[in-house]
């Protein structure tokens, strides 16, 4: 899976250096805020996962880092004067060009000489197992094949900063493993990765930092791979509790996330994700308040950090996920 020439061109020296930084960045579309005072530092050789529901601002944040969208307020600093950026947006259409025609054109736009672009395109098509399709029109490509072409174009110039919006979208498991392995290699060689994702496995395999967004605001940050997996937790659904008692109970320590109106049979169901060590005390408080326990489900790993709720939330009854 080695990309020829990459390691000799630029190698991580073992110390991360800042590449780009956002400080209290806000973005408005008309009068509607899409991002609100988001701060983010991206360093070489690190991977930052952006987690959030649809509409939380992940794609806008990636577009800002790519230089395609200007912030309305705040500051953006590029520490590298000639920062090379690769960007794979979430939406990639099935164009009438062949994969080869499109990628050679993108290589030229990225400043590659014709011979270098052809060699690079051939190299990446082989990595993504698309060599036999290089002269076929992309109009007939599957979603997974289009996503591979999308990822290839983002890698053509061997970027210092690689921005990926849902990179696993449309890919089968073998292709996802190929992409994860490739990104791990690029990170080792000094590439900074910032990616939005809904797959916990991708976060565990790649991320050094996790940045959780809700409605354009930062609600949670986790630093260090050692903190990606935390103590086990439990998902508990209860009902038949007065509002006053509920307020007291939900103020207990150990609660990671509150799920309003989870799927259930009663209109007053509510659920929490809570640290396993605090679960017994929580259940006792519920029962003493006259409440009923609908279900208790163990969860762990990223679930314990509440991240799966942000990646694939349970929709409220009678509505869709945000």
pLDDT tens-digit readout, 181-232: 999 999 999 999 999 988 777 888 899 999 989 889 988 888 876 566 555 7
pLDDT tens per residue across span 99-123: 999 999 999 999 999 999 999 999 9
φ, ψ dihedrals at 272, nearest 5°: -140, 150
Q: Do 236 and 211 belong together in one domain?
A: no
Determine, yes or no, domain membership for 64: yes
Q: Please enumerate in sequence order all residues whose Cβ is within 8 A of that of 238, keeping only pairs 6 or more positions apart, or say none.
A: 269, 270, 271, 286, 291, 292, 293, 294
Using DSSP, state whether 187 is helix, strand or coil.
helix
Q: Do 256 and 150 belong together in one domain?
A: no
Across the chain, what does the average pLDDT equal?
84
Among candidate residues 169, 199, 224, the one where a domain is terminated: 224
pLDDT tens per residue across span 275-309: 888 999 999 999 999 999 999 987 654 543 456 66
Determine, yes or no, domain membership for 318: no
Q: Do 32 and 164 belong together in one domain?
A: yes
Q: Do 88 and 236 belong together in one domain?
A: no
Question: Per mean pLDDT, which range of 41-45, 59-63, 122-126, 231-235 is the poorest?
Answer: 231-235
Q: Do 190 and 50 belong together in one domain?
A: yes
Give the CATH number of the domain where residue 281 resides: 3.30.70.100
* Cβ neighbour number for residue 200 with a 10 Å cutoff: 20
Sheet holding 85-88, edge to edge: 85-88, 161-165, 192-196, 47-51, 209-214, 217-223
CA distance 24 to 35: 9
Q: Do 130 and 252 belong together in one domain?
A: no
Give the CATH number of the domain where residue 45 resides: 3.40.50.300
Contact 75, 22 (CB under 8 A): yes
CA distance 298 to 289: 23
112: containing domain: 17-224
pLDDT tens per residue across span 24-33: 999 999 888 8
Q: Do 81 and 178 belong together in one domain?
A: yes
Region of 53 on the Ramachandran plot (φ > 0 left; ψ -120 to 50 alpha; else beta): beta
Q: What is the DSSP letter of 315?
A: P
Q: Do 241 and 216 belong together in one domain?
A: no
């Amino acid at each position: 899976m080695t990309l020829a020439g990459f390691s000799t061109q630029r190698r991580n020296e073992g110390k991360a250096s800042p590449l780009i930084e956002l400080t209290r960045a806000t973005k408005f579309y008309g009068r509607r805020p899409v991002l609100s005072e988001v701060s983010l530092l991206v360093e070489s050789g690190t991977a930052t996962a952006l987690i959030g529901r649809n509409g939380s601002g992940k794609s806008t944040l990636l577009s800002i880092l790519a230089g395609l969208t200007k912030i309305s307020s705040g500051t953006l600093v590029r520490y590298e004067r000639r920062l090379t950026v690769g960007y794979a947006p979430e939406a990639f259409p099935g164009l009438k060009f062949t994969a080869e025609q499109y990628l050679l054109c993108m290589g030229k736009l990225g400043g590659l000489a014709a011979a270098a672009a052809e060699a690079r395109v051939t190299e990446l098509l082989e990595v993504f197992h698309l060599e036999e399709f290089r002269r076929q029109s992309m109009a007939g490509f599957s979603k997974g094949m289009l996503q591979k072409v999308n990822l290839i174009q983002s890698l053509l110039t061997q970027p210092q900063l690689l921005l990926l919006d849902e990179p696993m979208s449309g890919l089968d498991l073998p292709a996802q493993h190929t992409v994860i392995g490739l990104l791990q290699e690029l990170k080792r060689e000094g590439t900074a990765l910032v990616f939005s994702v809904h797959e916990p496995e991708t976060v565990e395999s790649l991320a050094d930092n996790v940045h959780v967004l809700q409605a354009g605001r930062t609600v949670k940050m986790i630093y260090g791979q050692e903190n990606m997996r935390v103590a086990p937790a439990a998902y508990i659904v209860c009902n038949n509790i007065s509002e006053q008692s509920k307020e007291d109970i939900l103020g207990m320590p150990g609660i990671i996330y509150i799920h309003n109106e989870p799927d259930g049979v009663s209109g007053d169901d509510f659920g929490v994700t809570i640290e396993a060590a605090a679960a017994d005390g929580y259940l006792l408080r519920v029962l003493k308040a006259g409440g009923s326990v609908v279900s208790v489900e163990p969860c762990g790993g990223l679930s314990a950090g509440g991240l799966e709720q942000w990646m694939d939330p349970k929709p409220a009854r009678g509505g869709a996920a945000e």
